[in-house]
Amino acid sequence: MLNLGKLHFGGDYNPEQWPREVWKQDIELMQRAGVNLVSLGIFSWAKIERKDGEYHFDWLDEAIELLHQGGIAIDMATATASPPAWLTKAHPDVLPINFDGVRLSHGGRQQYSPASKVYQQKAAALVEQIAKRYGNNPAIEMWHVNNEYGCHSPYCYSEQSRQAFIEWLQKKYASIEELNAAWGTDFWSQRYYDWDELVVPKRTPDGTHPNPGQQMDFKRYSSDAHLELFKMERDIIRKYDQKRPITTNFMSMKFTYAMDYFKWAKEMDFVSTDHYLAQHDPLNHIDLAQQADLTRGFADGKQWLLMEHSTSAVNWQPRNYAKTPGQEFRNSASFVARGSQGSMYFQWRQSQAGSERFHSALVPHAGSDTRVFREVSELGAWLKSNPDVANYPTDQANVAIVYDYEQFWALMQANLPTQDINYAETVAKWYRAMWENGTRVDFVPADASLETLSKYELVLMPLVHMLSEQEERVFHDYVAQGGNLVVSYFTNTADRTLRVKLGGYGGKLVKELAGVYVEEFYPLREGQGALSNGYKIELWSELTRNLSADVIAKFVESDVDGSPALTVKSHGSSKVWYQGTELKLGSQRKFFKSITKELGIESEGGESTEVVRRGPYKFEIDHEKNKVKLRNN
């Protein structure tokens, strides 16, 4: 558990990039800026272990002591995120192999396969040395395992990965026949008779793609394989430190999908995350709010911390726009309002060399006499002056959005009704419509319990393509107990093996709860499609018939004119709305506004202003006027 009564402020510190005379300057500047925590040693493996088994801690000891004397706490990293050159040269099978069968080279970062026994052994040995040396060091406030798992090489298609995948499958399936049934391997003569016949889903002949069920299981395996690495390191640290909390930084970003963070969060002492804006988007503060709310959903009542974001420009977007004056303060305030226990950055001092030398930092290339340093110092003072905020969680919303990484994985596959389905974009549109209406939302997983769903008056289900029978039953029970649903098109089309549910798309969720029978999908042609009530649509229409719902709008100017597109069905005091198309943003806002008004769900803020409550504190953030107000009610 993180320390209460304190909001953390600081970032990644890499003293190994600088001569020692700069280190004391760093401490003085940190004190001026109000920094109280730094992440240390994240990419230091090559500096610590210079040859196999030859460890050097003198420089790290000195840096830790300087920070401790300066009153700056340490988030101690395990340094395993980037194996050194001596390791990959001696053991090239540590390096991952990509989808096309090409072994990736040393020279970037995360150049390891999670299935590599050598990597596992060497990483474990390094963590043992670090944890043994610093496990009782009073300067350490928390532990930071690896870094951004799965960001750069989430999947490895090597022979050792194939063997690990088979072992994972043997734990999931009782027999090879059960696997064949789950994957539907009688299609295209893909049936397996022996476990060793199984392959990883690499590139197949042109115009074909690996088995959909196999692809899903490989993504599940890959997330689990990386999680096992985290647990390995965590458990080593625990031998030497039973008190300080341990985390690894997620990447809660719109198009980051490879790790199942709802599952990962259960293994964390607290959740931490990194978030970087798409700075070309003038409304990127809405994406920031979405990802902060999503991270709070991962945490599910645990504390969470923004471990990395940027003071200004990043270095990896096509055009790396700098943040505008005051923007960073608003960004950090929004994260804190939504539950972060502070505001941390990559990195403290902007690098002179290396791939990220043009990535912004708290101390930019131009030094401390800069707008960036003055603004982060102002933020540091503001966080320090409001420590009591850390004692309260963000207030729960009345509305929840179902979010599930497996839906993301399924809808990335080929051979869907249209290539234009985009899970991340649709979820973002639904969130943005609510944000602009001033309606706050939380995020819950698709396998949420009835107890969790029952906390919310309204649950939104955008593109929840797969549900097991048990998961589907929970949503039925939620409605039976007074809950309200909005169900989108292409929801509950398949079970968790991607096997299509027969007898009308959407299964019982759509036929019984929504009262709609979906016969066939009709992706919209260019210029096609509208609704009878004037709402604007895109991407999708479908041939439907009304079973027992009230029709709000029908398709017009399409191939399915007259088919119900928006419906609502009452179940006693509950209602289920069905949205059989992709509404354009303005229409999505109107649709949601009509629903929340009918249910009496209150809104605050909207348009350019967000209002978030955290215990007795009320955050008012005006992104147009560039103002942040924090009120203690």
What's the rounded Cα separation, in Å, for the pair 623 and 569?
38
What's the rounded Cα separation, in Å, for the pair 433 and 257?
22
What's the rounded Cα separation, in Å, for the pair 98 and 95?
10
| DSSP H or E stretch at residue 38 | strand 37-40
What's the rounded Cα separation, in Å, for the pair 612 and 439?
10
What's phi and psi for 427, nearest 5 deg? -60, -45
CATH number, domain containing residue 37: 3.20.20.80
Q: What residues in the chain have per-residue pLDDT under 70?
A: none
> How many domains, the chain?
2
In a shared domain, residues 449 and 300: no
Q: Is residue 312 part of a domain?
A: yes
- The whole-angstrom distance between residue 333's C-alpha and the CA centroid of its chain comes to 20
In a shared domain, residues 414 and 551: yes
Query: What is the pTM assigned to this prediction?
Result: 0.97
The domain boundary, picked from 335, 364, 391, lies at 391
Q: Is residue 79 part of a domain?
A: yes
Alpha-carbon distances of 494 from 209, 406, 502, rounded to whole Å = 19, 12, 9
Q: Is residue 180 part of a domain?
A: no
The domain boundary, picked from 391, 418, 447, lies at 391
Q: Is residue 522 part of a domain?
A: yes
Confidence at residue 2, expressed as pLDDT on a 0 to 100 scale: 77
Strand residue runs (E) in 495-561: 516-523, 530-531, 537-538, 540-546, 550-556
Question: Which residue range(s) make up the domain with 356?
Answer: 8-155+227-391
Extract the tokens encoding 490: 């292409």
In terms of Cα–Cα distance, which of 73, 63, 48 is closest to 128? 48
In a shared domain, residues 426 and 348: no
Confidence at residue 3, expressed as pLDDT on a 0 to 100 scale: 72
Confidence at residue 66, expressed as pLDDT on a 0 to 100 scale: 98
Query: Quick check: 427 and 403 in contact, CB under 8 A?
Result: yes
The domain boundary, picked from 391, 411, 437, lies at 391
In a shared domain, residues 262 and 358: yes
Buried residues in 427-444 as b, exposed as e (16+ CB within 10 A) = bbbbbbbbbbbbbbbbbb
Q: Is residue 485 part of a domain?
A: yes
Query: Quick check: 522 and 541 in contact, CB under 8 A?
Result: yes
Residue 371, Cβ density class (10 Å: 0-12 exposed, 13-18 middle, ≥19 buried): middle
In a shared domain, residues 384 and 498: no
In a shared domain, residues 341 and 407: no
Task: Just list the catalytic residues.
Answer: 148, 308
In a shared domain, residues 259 and 132: yes
Confidence at residue 209, expressed as pLDDT on a 0 to 100 scale: 95
Helical pair 585-599 and 423-436, crossing angle rounded to 10 deg:
60
In a shared domain, residues 503 and 583: yes
Confidence at residue 633, expressed as pLDDT on a 0 to 100 scale: 79
